[in-house]
Amino acid sequence: NVPTMTLSSHFLILLIQIRRTSLWDEAVTCADRQDFVEALRIFLSIQEPNSKICFDIGCLHLLNQDLDAAEKAFDSSIRRDEHLAVAFFQRGLTFYRKKRYEESLGDFQYAFKALRGNQLIDYKALGLRYKLYACEVLHNMALVEAQLGNWEKAQENLVKALDYKTEVKLTVIDRALQSILKQKLFKPVEFPPKVLFKPNKHYVAELEKKDYLGKAKVVASVVPQDDFSGFAPLQPQVEDGPACPKEPEVLRALEGEPHTVLFEFVPETSDELAVVPGNIVFVLQKDADNWASVIFNERRGLVPYNYLERLEISLGSKQNEVLFLFLFSYIVCGIDVQCTDNTCIVKVHFSFNFAVSVPSGCSYAILIDKISKKLNLPSNGITLRYFGLIISTNTEMDSVWSHACDRRITFWCHTKEIYLVALHSFESSNPEDLSFHQGDIITLLSQVNKDWLEGRCDGNTGIFPASFVKEVSGQ
């Protein structure tokens, strides 16, 4: 049996993580109300802050003009995530304000390197409404070179910035270039002073709903809306059994460092692995090109490392570390999926596997609605099969549910392409938007929310207003 002290340490870590997320949300709420003193007080009370929380603390210190404290906070953020380019950008600005120009230049250079040739990094998926532009990083590098008297290098950086510019950023680069040609300094591009990383609101809402002291029943997913993540169940204890619980096969297969998936990754090659937000993967190796070799659901593959966040836990052994992940899924983060007299667990095979809980004997409409919400796809774009049988509104569901064993059943899910026709032209104002003309045919990829869709048109992918299109009939 697992020693009591070991379990106690697991629960302590568990409560720390729950408390951390709750305090993080509370601090951000205070900051949104412009109560920055209280926000900073709450942030500083958080135990074991992650890289994004440390970043937020640094930003609040900058608001208070406390450059030394800001530098330490950004140091902590970078230590916890060496790929967080925006943290290097902020620390570079901090060093610049402290007139430590060599260190400022180094941080801006690292931020530019982290962009990996891209025009920008959009941090929206990580909870920060900010885009870090390569041309702005180069703009600041040029300013620091000018402060150091390296006018030629400053000009080279600004000329290079013109290759990365976007239309909205063109003016600031042109003005800076004019100043450099006159050997005059100019103002740095600064990070918005009141923009902070925010925790996932849906996850916070789920934390508030759950009874953390209730009895755990089955292993569930760490994805708030998911009922299954592929982990094997904990083994039952029997009298006169072995001194330690039997280790599931999946436990023996797990290696590496545990990480949480931050947002969905769709593989493009056979070497890559599909994951969705909330999955826990184990990083076996991190390559220099920012790809990580991971294991998930007993499958190995490559995932971009910046899609992951390391689980910051400190346990005595790898076995305890894995056990904690099981307890975390088992007790806290998943929806209770124990089969009751009026529920059935449906496991769905898709590009990744997941499960949903539905009322026993429910209609097709209820079933497909639950699955479509999980996949964030319209229900008419999903094809559901039970072995060779295609399930639809015309299917006699009683015959389908009769195949359930212990109120559990497995379906196979495929998506079909939905085509939309543009009712109006739409010009993108942001890099993530999709431009099209009236009459263009757009392939629907996903439903972002009730107002926005994601699609593909003429080889480009992006989001656009749902009201601008309608489904092509007869498809």
Burial class of residue 263 (count of CB atoms within 10 Å of its CB; 0-12, 13-18, 19+): middle
- From residue 34, alpha-carbon distances to 54, 57, 90, 193, 366 in Å are 19, 15, 21, 11, 43
CA distance linking residue 356 with residue 362, whole number of Å: 13
Question: Please, which pLDDT band fits residue 201 given cuts at 50, 70 and 90?
Answer: low
Per residue in 125-149, pLDDT tens?
Answer: 788 889 899 999 999 999 999 999 9
Residue 343 has pLDDT above 70, yes or no: yes
- Residue 459 per-residue DSSP state: T
pTM summary value: 0.47
pLDDT tens column, 72-130: 999 999 988 888 899 999 999 999 999 999 999 999 999 998 888 888 888 887 888 89
Which residues, at least 6 apart from 366, have a Cβ–Cβ distance to it below 8 Å?
358, 359
Question: Residue 167: enclosing H or E segment and its boundaries?
Answer: none
Distance from C-alpha of 325 to C-alpha of 16, rounded to nearest angstrom: 14
* Domains along the sequence of the chain with CATH: 4-181 (1.25.40.10), 218-333 (2.30.30.40), 343-415 (3.10.20.90), 418-471 (2.30.30.40)
Q: Name the CA dihedral angle for 318, 319, 321, 327, rounded to a multiple of 10 degrees.
A: 170
CA distances from 440 to 378, 462, 471 (A): 20, 14, 12
The amino acid present at 174, given as its one-letter code, is D
State which amino acid sits at residue 57: I
Q: Which long-range contacts (CB under 8 A, 24 or more apart) does 63-67 make?
A: 63/36, 63/193, 63/194, 64/36, 64/40, 67/94, 67/97, 67/98
- The three-class DSSP label of residue 80 is helix
3-state percent breakdown (helix, strand, coil) of the chain, nearest 5: 40, 20, 40
DSSP bridge partners of 310: 259
Q: What is the pLDDT of residues 228-280, one digit of tens each?
A: 433 333 333 333 333 333 333 333 334 578 888 887 787 777 778 888 777 78
3-class secondary structure, 453: strand
